[in-house]
Each structure stands twice: as C-alpha cells, then as structure tokens.
Amino acid sequence: MENNLLSLIIFAPLAGAAINWFLGRRLRNEKFIGVIACGAVAVSTVVAFYLAFKSGGALRSTEPVFDNLWTWIQVGKFRADFGLAMDRLSGTYALFVTFVGFLIHVFAVGYMQKDQGFYRFFAFLNLFMFAMLTLVLADNFLLMFVGWEGVGLCSYLLIGYYIDRKEAGDAAKKAFITNRVGDWGFVMGIMLTFFLTGSISFFDKPAQGVTSALQTIAGMSAVDPFTWHAIFAGGVTSIAILLFIGAAGKSAQIPLYVWLPDAMAGPTPVSALIHAATMVTAGVYMIVRCSAIYTHAPTAMFVVAVIGAATALFAATIGLAQNDIKKVLAYSTISQLGYMFLACGLGAFTAAIFHVITHAFFKALLFLGSGSVIHGMHHEQDMRSMGGLKKYMPITFATMLTGWLAISGIPIFAGFFSKDEILWRTWSAGTFSLPSPPWSKALWFIGALTALLTAVYMTRMMVMTFWGSERFREKHVDHVDNASGIHDDAHHDDHAVHEPHESPWLMTAPLVVLAILSTIGGFIGVPYALGSLAGLHPTNYIEQTLGPVIAKVPGGKTESEPAAAEPIWLSHPPQTTDSAPAFVSLDETAASHSAEEIHGERLLALVSVAIAVLGIVFGWIIFRRRPLLALPRILENKYYVDEIYDATVINPINAGSREGLWKIFDVGVIDGFLHTIGEVVLEGGRAIRHLQGGFVRAYAAIILLGALAVIGFFAYYGVHAMRLLP
C-alpha cells in the first residue's frame, strides 16, 4: 500500500534542521529555534502514529506501507530505490523513536538555554532524527546504510558540540573512527548479500520487479551447519557475521564499545537521544530486520549471544566504580545492549525489541534525570560532590526513582517484564544456536549476575546523588575522571558552592511522562505465565504485533503466543478469509503452554525479582553507610582497555604511519624518487648550458661538427649499400 505521508516522517526533521541552520543562526531567537526543532519532530510523531494505527495502517495489517520516492541506482541487476516502508517492526521503532525523541527535544530547550550555539545544537539534533528515521524506514540495505552513516556523522557533530573542549573533540573522533571499523563489516555484508541473492531489498515489490533478499534467504531450505568454518565459507553465516560487526560498532559491543563512554562529553540531551532510543539500538534493529538471515546461521547466532552476554557482564562491573553520573549510565547502556544481543543470539528477537522499547523509556528518563541533576548542581556531574539532593529536587528524584526501579527489574515497572523475558528465553533456549544445553544455563547465569550488578550500581548512583550528607557544601575537591579528564557537561568556571535547585518545567515535564512510561510501559509484553498468575486475561501485545514479521528459529517455538494472530489490542475485526484469526482466546493461549513451562517461567520470574531486590538491598547497605567507598582501581580505570588499545593498536599504527609510511615510504621512496628526477634534470641542464656560451665561433664550430656528422652518417651507409648490390 502506497502512502506519501511516510516521507513526511523523515523530511520534517530535515526541514527543521535546514530552517534552524539558515534562519535560526540569523535570528538567534531561542523561542523560534525551539519551536521549529520540537515542532518538526512533533510532526514526525503525529504522522508515525497516524500511519501505524489508522485503518489498514502498518500495525493493523500484515502489509507494509510503502512510499517509493524515486529509483536511486539501477545498474544491470542491481537496483536501489530511495523508498520507505513501514511494517510492524519499523512502525514500532518509528513510534518510540519519534515520541521519545520529541520529549528529549523539549527537555533540551530548557537545558541548553543561553548557550551560544543554540541554533547549531538543534540543527544537528533535527538532522540526527532525519538520519535515524531514514535508517529505520528504509526499504533496502543501501538506504539503511545512508541513515546508518548519517547517525554516525551526526553523533560526531553532537558529541563534539563543545568545540572549545579538547576532550569533546577527542571523544567525537573516537566515536567516528570506531564506528567506521564496524561499518566496514556492514558494507561487506551488504555486498555479499547482493552476490548471493541478487537483491538488497527488504520487501518484495512485484509491480516494480523487486525481489526481497531476506525472502530469498528465508526460502532456502538448507541451514548452514554449526561449524566455525561456516564463518569464512562466504555463505549466509558469513553475511550474518559481517552484519554483526556493523551492529557491534553502532551498538557498542565488545570489542567496539569503547567509544560510547567517552561520548558523554556531549551535552546530556545528546546522551539521552543517542544512547537511549536511537543510535545505539540501530544494531539491534538491523539484526532483527535480518532475522531471516540469522535463523539460517546458527554459528553466527552463537557468536552474537556470547558477545552480548560478555558485554553485558563486562560493562556492568565497570559501572560499579564510576563516579561521573553520566558514565554510570553509559556503561549501563552498554550492559543493557548486551542483554538485547543475547536475546537476538538465542532467537528471541521479539524479546530483544521489547527490551529496546522499555530501555528507551527508562534510560531516556535516567539520562534526562541526570541532566536535571547536572543543571540543578550548576554543571557538576561527579557524584562524590553531590548527596542529599532529594529535598532540593523532588520532581527529579521521584521520576528517577521510577527509572531506578525499572532498570533494576522490580515489578511492576517496565524493565522487569522485558528483562525477565530475556532471562527466561535464555534459560529455556534450545540447541539451534547453542552447541549444547549447558550453554543456555551458563548464559542465564551471566545474565542473572549482570542483573544483580545492575541493581547494585544503580542503587549506588541513587544513594550518592539523592541521599546522605550534602557533600556539595564541603570544600570542593576537583574530582576528575582518570581516563578522560572530563569534569562536567558544560563550561565550569569556578569551584564555588552553589545552592541546588529544581529544573524548570520544560525539563521536568518530559521526566514525568517518561516516568509514567517506565512504570506501565512493560504491560505491552506481559507473558501468559505471569498474567494468568494475576488472574488476568493476558495478551502479549508486542509478540502478537511483531510475530508476523520476524523469522522463527527452526525446530523450536521461540514465542510465547501464537505469532500469526492479529493483535487483540488493535480491535481489528474478525477475518473471514483463510488467514489467521483476529482474536486469540484464553484457551488457545493456554494450550500453547505446558504446565511445566508455565511453572518454570513463574519460578524464574521469582528468581529475577529476588536478584533485583538483593542487589538493591546490598547496594543500599554498603553505599548508604559509605557512599565514597573506594572500589577496585581496575574497575574505576575500566580494566585499562583504552590503555591496552593505545599500546597494541593506536600507538603502533601511529608509529608505523610516522616512521614507515611517512618517513620511509613518503619521504624516502616517493619524495626521494621525485627529488632524484629533479636533480638529474637539474644536473643535465647545468651540463648542457655550457653549449650556450654566447660566442659565434663556437656556434659555427657546432654547426660544422653537426654537418660533418650527418654527411659521415650518409656516406657510411651509402658505401655499405653499394657493397650489397650484385
């Protein structure tokens, strides 16, 4: 179904960016700039919700909504359209990206007041939204890559927004270069996909002669064998691994996660936008979009699951010892992204997207809440200089409290349902993407330990910030992050004691909305085992919505409800055709679960709650008494990974480039060769110039010698020719 309004979703923020860049920079009127920036994203939000929920819309139908603007490239069999498509997956993403993005824009208007680059900031922020929505709504790999690179460029501009701060520039370059490493894998994966399928499209469009690369792979009956050799065989597994390299860069997974903590050098609204609902979840979106590829590549899925679990635990341990409030949340983001990749690697793609949604709510809340704290503390972000802020910032405290409980996994908050779903899927995973059953239990243990550590370090953050003594009244100690040297989020002129204050309504209103979503947002995915326990008629809306567009792992059921059914929550009228029924009865849902499965899921949920409570209690007891407790130095210095990278990668490349490429090859070989040619020509000219002495007799002698040489030449060959005659 064609709908030209779809392009309005991406072009409204682009128009906002252009207006603020060309007109806002002249007017320098903050109200005008803020209205344009927020209004552009509001237009995208309204149109996205309209196209998703209207009759026959993307979330009410199994058919995508298309908007094919033009044929971009067509060479031989290769065709790439500048075309947009909203199906149930991209529609779901578009909804929370635009809505959460709008709230962040509103918050930023209050946060960035009186900043000299106000127009520039919102032009970049709108441009980022354009790139992210292009990535999500693209109907082919190449246009997705345009959005993919666009968010990379905009992240560089936003992270390095404070152009007078060296650490901001270094962080921006680090993010840009690290992402380029991952993007190499993405590009190679796209090329290999076209080589194997002859297409780069996500959807079949028969009227335009376009076939889907994903459907072509999904139609393959053979699944790659579970062997390490399959990674290098040039088949589906190779595609999956290459695409995952791109996802690891964009979504900050081991070993390409190092850019994200340093990205905190940008303004806090940037951190909320990039690290909550948009850029860092692009890798998860891409893998779920390509689920048909991954369900034919069990080896690749195993790699995704193991790296996701390792990243989740690794980042959680580092988060325990960070003192910068934004750095704590940065490592928390890396850890939660690891959860999402763990779910993808086990075939629980819907659970991964569910956690993406809830994470967008509570992590945006926590980042914006930290921004409110930084604003109220006059740009102080070291938690060792905070404490006792609860009475000064009651709204910020109350809203961040819900985010803390949500990320810790406390019922009924949103994070509990999505995190519990991932842990259950991990525990009950089959052997398709795992070499043996014990792997699922080992990965569950890592996930559970990560959940425990998450509750501990988030409790530490809340205690150090809102409870305890008012350390901001004590003599200021210049606490500087050992690794980055970053002290605050903006220009910090002095170390005087300032009275904390609550943020203005433009900043607190988005916090309240996000706090509500962080509290009730998880009810879109209540599993049958837990919903039925409460005596409710449970409906897992997120699974029923995404089920028809996500591939299933062969040989096992990965969803907890019949995926082909139309969502109950859309009030779609019953179908009279041979398609799946529009409504799922309680009996049908119960029949899809065995008593053993229900009991097991309930028991695991109870264990998850116990882990969350234990982590909170443990963190409260330790850090309430000793908020400034020194933790192991290795954790505070992030396992010295940056130093190791510098020693093993960065410095050798710099030294090799300087000593080898520059001094030897550039200066010695290239410059040496060119200089030698120049010297030969110069010396030759010096020798020949003596022929031009300026004396007529010398010129006459030269002419005579030349004439004699010519006569002698012809005479010699004339005599030789006469001898050859008969």
**Distance in angstroms (rounded) separating the CA atoms of residues 397 and 369:** 8
Number of domains in the chain: 3
Q: Which of 3-17, 203-217, 419-433, 689-703 has the highest mean pLDDT?
A: 3-17
Least confident of 325-339, 513-527, 545-559: 545-559
Cβ atoms of 417 and 576 within 8 Å: the answer is no
Does 665 map to a domain? yes
**Amino acid identity of 625?**
R
| Cβ-based neighbour number of residue 166 at 10 Å | 11
One domain, residues 647 and 720: no
Cβ atoms of 497 and 472 within 8 Å: the answer is yes
**pLDDT at residue number 694:** 76
Token pair recorded at residue 165? 């701060």
How would residue 716 be classed by pLDDT, with cut points 50, 70 and 90?
confident
- Segment 95-99 shows an average pLDDT of 96
Least confident of 47-56, 219-228, 635-644: 219-228
How would residue 162 be classed by pLDDT, with cut points 50, 70 and 90?
very high
**Distance in angstroms (rounded) separating the CA atoms of residues 123 and 25:** 10
**Distance in angstroms (rounded) separating the CA atoms of residues 369 and 362:** 10
One domain, residues 723 and 652: no
Does 579 map to a domain? no
Cβ atoms of 359 and 93 within 8 Å: the answer is no
Tell me: the pLDDT tens digits for 644-690?
A: 999 999 999 999 998 888 888 888 899 889 999 999 999 888 888 77
Cβ atoms of 224 and 236 within 8 Å: the answer is yes
One domain, residues 142 and 291: yes
pLDDT mean across residues, the chain: 87
Q: pTM score > 0.85 for this model?
A: yes
- Segment 28-53 shows an average pLDDT of 95
Q: Tell me, what DSSP letter sits at residue 302? A: H
One domain, residues 517 and 642: no
**pLDDT at residue number 497:** 59
**pLDDT at residue number 585:** 38
**Distance in angstroms (rounded) separating the CA atoms of residues 37 and 39:** 6
Residues ≥6 apart with Cβ < 8 Å to 126: 13, 14, 16, 17, 20, 37, 40, 41
One domain, residues 647 and 726: no
Tell me: the pLDDT tens digits for 325-357?
A: 999 999 999 999 999 999 999 999 999 999 999
Does 480 map to a domain? yes
Does 142 map to a domain? yes
- Segment 138-163 shows an average pLDDT of 95
Tell me: the pLDDT tens digits for 105-136?
A: 999 999 999 888 999 999 999 999 999 999 99
Helix 325-345 / helix 438-466 crossing angle, nearest 10 deg = 160
**Distance in angstroms (rounded) separating the CA atoms of residues 396 and 507:** 9
**pLDDT at residue number 305:** 96
One domain, residues 514 and 657: no
Least confident of 159-173, 573-587, 691-705: 573-587
Does 64 map to a domain? yes
DSSP assignment of 218-274 equals: HT------SSGGGGGTTSHHHHHHHHHHHHHHHTT-TTS-THHHHGGGS-HHHHHII
Does 355 map to a domain? yes
- 322 CB burial (10 A radius; 0-12, 13-18, 19+): buried
Residues ≥6 apart with Cβ < 8 Å to 563: 543, 544, 546, 547, 548, 550, 552
Least confident of 277-281, 364-368, 552-556: 552-556
One domain, residues 526 and 649: no
Least confident of 174-183, 565-574, 595-604: 565-574
CA torsion sign, 427 to 431 to 433 to 435?
Answer: positive
How would residue 253 be classed by pLDDT, with cut points 50, 70 and 90?
very high
Domain that holds residue 183: 6-490+501-530+630-636
One domain, residues 56 and 185: yes
One domain, residues 681 and 702: no
If you count them, how many residues does the chain have? 726
Percentage of residues in the chain with pLDDT exceeding 90? 63
| Cβ-based neighbour number of residue 26 at 10 Å | 8
**Distance in angstroms (rounded) separating the CA atoms of residues 593 and 428:** 13
In a 3-state reduction of DSSP, which class is residue 210? strand
- Cis, bond preceding 298 (omega within 30 deg of 0): no
Q: Tell me how many degrees the CA angle 106-111-117 measures, rounded to the nearest 5.
A: 100
**Distance in angstroms (rounded) separating the CA atoms of residues 579 and 593:** 23
One domain, residues 362 and 346: yes
Q: Which of 474-478, 603-607, 702-706 has the highest mean pLDDT?
A: 603-607
Does 709 map to a domain? yes
The CA distances from residue 313 to 263, 385, 453, 633, in Å, are: 21, 28, 8, 18
One domain, residues 704 and 651: no
Q: Tell me how many degrees the CA angle 486-640-264 measures, rounded to the nearest 5.
A: 30
Does 237 map to a domain? yes
Q: Residue by residue, what is the 3-state secondary structure of 669-682?
A: HHHHHHHHHHHHHH
Token pair recorded at residue 432? 């398709």
One domain, residues 381 and 442: yes
Nearest to 433 by CA among 307, 312, 545: 307
- Segment 208-234 shows an average pLDDT of 87
Percentage of residues in the chain with pLDDT exceeding 70? 90
Residue 486 has pLDDT above 70, yes or no: no
**pLDDT at residue number 536:** 59
